[in-house]
């Protein structure tokens, strides 16, 4: 996937003629870009790939408000996906959680994990992104890997602007690093956060992905952080600093005005949420204590 | 005072606006009147950290760790218990050592 932000008033969608394999984060990003463009300025090349119906099933053209002549073969009546959906308010999100998560047909424990991730990500957008168009999100079940892939994107102020309200971050990547750190929020520099924000949401999500050896990516401005899948043999260990995790990063990508997040959650190795919380709690407490200790006054020995 | 979280936030407690209203309109006024508050999580299957933070962090910040002497959490499953414990711990860690009085 690539995108060129040079002409934000026009959206041109192109795809490979032979195949289309799109992670939900990309669908969400296309939908988010399109949400700021008048439908008459959105152009999609005729799609030739056999898998083109996927874009229709996921509701991309409906969300963009443009017609499509691709017919769908309804081979899986209920499907196991959440089509591209826009969420703007807290109540819309609660409704979404009640009505849409069941479309993924998950076991209760799995639904809890997926619901947790979607709720925290979407609330970040609603509360911090200042995105007029809200959060654009979708999810898809992949039978071969027995995983749920989630994508959520917005065209708001981006992580750097949000974090900089309380913490200095020179680059988009610095800001992403801080946003993933437990207890760091753009809402305040105060330890423990504000009454509404703790700065823990993204850390929890990255931790869920890390413990399950899953994929997690976050893109904002020119920065991108990708948590790499860990080999099955390695012992999962949570880190407060996301740069201590096995990861890759980019700092000079085409500028994404806003934030986009993608996560793959493999269902058959999803750790019991309850035991995962033990590890998250320990890492979180250690990180808070370290930060508090770093601010202690030191005795002056003269 | 007993507050049913399920009645207000459903089986998956994630709406922070609801948590804020419970905190500001029910928990804090009750504690300030010296009452005990029981948060009943019966039928609540899961809660996000953000929800629990919005529900109790400001209570701990305003009243110190001693707020937990007058605030009880009823019928929590293991997951909810752990999230409540994480929030209670990091809030008290952030406050520094107990001073013996309310903050």
Q: How far is A90 from chain B (nearest CA, A)?
A: 7
Residues of B in Cβ contact (< 8 Å) with A196: 16, 20, 53-54
Q: Tell whether the model's pLDDT for residue A105 goes beyond 80.
A: yes
User: Tens of pLDDT along A69-94?
Assistant: 777 665 554 568 999 999 999 999 99
Distance CA A153, CA A104 (A): 20
Facing A284 at nearest CB: one of B10, B86, B96: B86
Q: How far is A236 from chain B (nearest CA, A)?
A: 20
Nearest chain B residue to A90 by CA distance is B15
Residues of A in Cβ contact (< 8 Å) with B12: 97-98, 112, 115, 119
Residues β-bridged to residue B12: B46
Residues of B in Cβ contact (< 8 Å) with A119: 12, 14, 48, 50
Task: Tell me the pLDDT band of A270, cut-offs 50, 70 and 90.
Answer: low
pLDDT of residue A22: 86
Nearest chain A residue to B82 by CA distance is A277
User: Tens of pLDDT along A124-133?
Assistant: 999 999 999 9
Q: Tell whether the model's pLDDT for residue B96 goes beyond 90.
A: no
C-alpha dihedral (A105, A106, A111, A113), degrees to nearest 10: -130
C-alpha dihedral (B1, B5, B9, B11), degrees to nearest 10: -160
Q: How far is CA A267 from CA A63, A105, A143, in A?
A: 28, 12, 10
For residue A143, the surrounding DSSP H or E stretch is none
Task: Tell me the pLDDT band of A55, cut-offs 50, 70 and 90.
Answer: confident
Beta carbons of B39 and B47 less than 8 angstroms apart = no
Which two three-digit tokens encode residue A235? Answer: 């012992």
| pTM for this model (two decimals) | 0.89
Q: For residue A190, how many C-alpha atoms fall within 13 Å in the half-sphere facing its CB?
A: 15
From A225-229, A252-256, B17-21, the region with the lowest mean pLDDT: A225-229
pLDDT of residue A274: 74
Beta carbons of A81 and A140 less than 8 angstroms apart = yes
Distance CA B12, CA B44 (A): 6
Phi-psi region of B100 (alpha: psi -120 to 50; beta: other; left: phi over 0): left
Structural domains of chain A, with CATH: 20-294 (3.30.565.10)
Q: What are phi and psi of A261, to 5 degrees?
A: -130, 140
Closest CA to B45 of A111, A2, A250: A111
pLDDT of residue A233: 63
Which two three-digit tokens encode residue B31? Answer: 């504690």
Facing B94 at nearest CB: one of A108, A281, A288: A288
State the DSSP string of A145-159. TTEEEEEEEE-SSHH
Beta carbons of B8 and B22 less than 8 angstroms apart = yes
pLDDT of residue B54: 95
Beta carbons of A183 and B90 less than 8 angstroms apart = yes
Facing A201 at nearest CB: one of B15, B50, B95: B50
Q: Tell whether the model's pLDDT for residue A281 goes beyond 80.
A: yes
Report the 3 state secondary structure along A61-90.
HHHHCCCCCCCCCCCCCCCCEEEEEEECCH
Sign of the alpha-carbon dihedral angle for A229, A234, A235, A240? negative
Distance CA B1, CA B71 (A): 10
Which residue has better confidence, A293 or A116? A116
A198 to B57: CB separation less than 8 angstroms, yes or no = yes
Closest CA to A263 of A143, A115, A41, A127: A115
Most confident of A16-25, A76-85, A138-147, A293-302: A138-147
Percent of chain A with pLDDT over 90: 44
B86 to A98: CB separation less than 8 angstroms, yes or no = no
Q: What is the mean pLDDT of chain B?
A: 89
Q: Tell whether the model's pLDDT for residue A113 goes beyond 90.
A: no
Strand, coil or helix: what is A168? coil
The angle, 0 to 180 degrees and rounded to 10, between the axes of the packed helices A201-211 and A108-124 is 140
Q: Tell whether the model's pLDDT for residue A302 goes beyond 60.
A: yes
Residues of A in Cβ contact (< 8 Å) with B93: 285, 288-289, 292
Most confident of A51-55, A200-204, A286-290: A200-204
Q: Tell whether the model's pLDDT for residue A41 goes beyond 50.
A: yes
Strand, coil or helix: what is B102? coil
pLDDT of residue A271: 59
Residues β-bridged to residue A153: A136, A260
CA–CA–CA angle A228, A232, A237 (5° rounding): 65
B14 to A119: CB separation less than 8 angstroms, yes or no = yes
Q: What is the mean pLDDT of chain A?
A: 86
Task: Tell me the pLDDT band of B26, cut-offs 50, 70 and 90.
Answer: very high
pLDDT of residue A251: 96
A280 to B91: CB separation less than 8 angstroms, yes or no = no
Residues of A in Cβ contact (< 8 Å) with B45: 108, 112
Facing B86 at nearest CB: one of A193, A273, A280: A280
Residues of B in Cβ contact (< 8 Å) with A290: none
Facing B48 at nearest CB: one of A120, A127, A193: A120
Q: How far is A189 from chain B (nearest CA, A)?
A: 12
Distance CA A55, CA A129 (A): 26
For residue A248, how many other CB atoms are within 10 A of its CB? 10
User: Tens of pLDDT along A167-195?
Assistant: 999 999 999 999 999 888 888 888 778 88
Residues of A in Cβ contact (< 8 Å) with B56: none
User: Tens of pLDDT along A227-249?
Assistant: 987 776 666 678 889 999 999 99
């Amino acid at each position: 996937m690539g995108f060129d932000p040079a002409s934000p008033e026009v959206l041109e969608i192109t795809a490979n003629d032979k195949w289309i394999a799109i992670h939900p984060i990309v669908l969400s990003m296309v939908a988010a870009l399109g949400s700021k463009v008048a439908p008459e300025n959105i152009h999609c090349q005729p799609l030739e790939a056999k898998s083109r119906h996927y874009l229709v099933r996921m509701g991309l053209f409906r969300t963009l408000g443009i017609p499509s002549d691709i017919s769908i073969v309804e081979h899986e009546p209920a499907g196991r996906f959440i089509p591209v959906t826009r969420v703007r308010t807290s109540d819309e999100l609660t409704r979404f959680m009640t009505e849409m998560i069941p479309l993924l047909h998950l076991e209760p424990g799995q639904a809890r994990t997926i619901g947790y991730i979607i709720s925290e990500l979407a609330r970040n957008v609603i509360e911090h992104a200042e995105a007029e168009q809200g959060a654009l999100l979708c999810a898809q079940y992949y039978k071969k890997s027995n995983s749920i892939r989630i994508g959520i994107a917005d065209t708001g102020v981006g992580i750097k602007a949000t974090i900089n309200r309380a913490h200095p971050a020179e680059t988009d990547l610095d800001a992403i690093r801080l946003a993933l750190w437990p207890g760091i929020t753009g809402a305040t520099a105060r330890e423990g956060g504000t009454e509404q924000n703790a700065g823990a949401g993204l850390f929890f999500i990255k931790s869920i992905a890390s413990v399950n050896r899953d994929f997690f990516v976050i893109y904002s401005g020119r920065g991108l952080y990708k948590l790499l899948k860990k080999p099955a043999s390695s012992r999962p260990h949570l880190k407060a600093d996301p740069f201590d995790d096995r990861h890759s990063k980019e700092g000079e990508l085409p500028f994404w005005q806003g934030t986009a997040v993608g996560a793959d959650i493999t269902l058959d190795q999803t750790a019991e949420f309850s035991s995962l919380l033990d590890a998250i709690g320990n890492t979180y407490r250690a990180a808070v204590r370290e930060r508090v200790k770093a601010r202690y006054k030191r005795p002056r020995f003269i | 005072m007993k507050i049913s979280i399920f009645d207000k936030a459903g089986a998956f407690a994630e709406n922070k606006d609801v948590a804020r209203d419970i905190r500001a309109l029910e928990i804090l006024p009750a504690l300030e009147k010296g009452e005990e508050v029981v948060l009943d999580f019966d039928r609540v299957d899961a809660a996000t950290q953000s929800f629990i933070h919005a529900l109790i962090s400001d209570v701990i910040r305003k009243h110190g760790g001693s707020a937990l002497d007058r605030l009880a959490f009823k019928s929590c499953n293991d997951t909810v218990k752990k999230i409540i414990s994480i929030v209670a711990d990091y809030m008290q860690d952030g406050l520094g050592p107990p001073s013996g009085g309310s903050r």
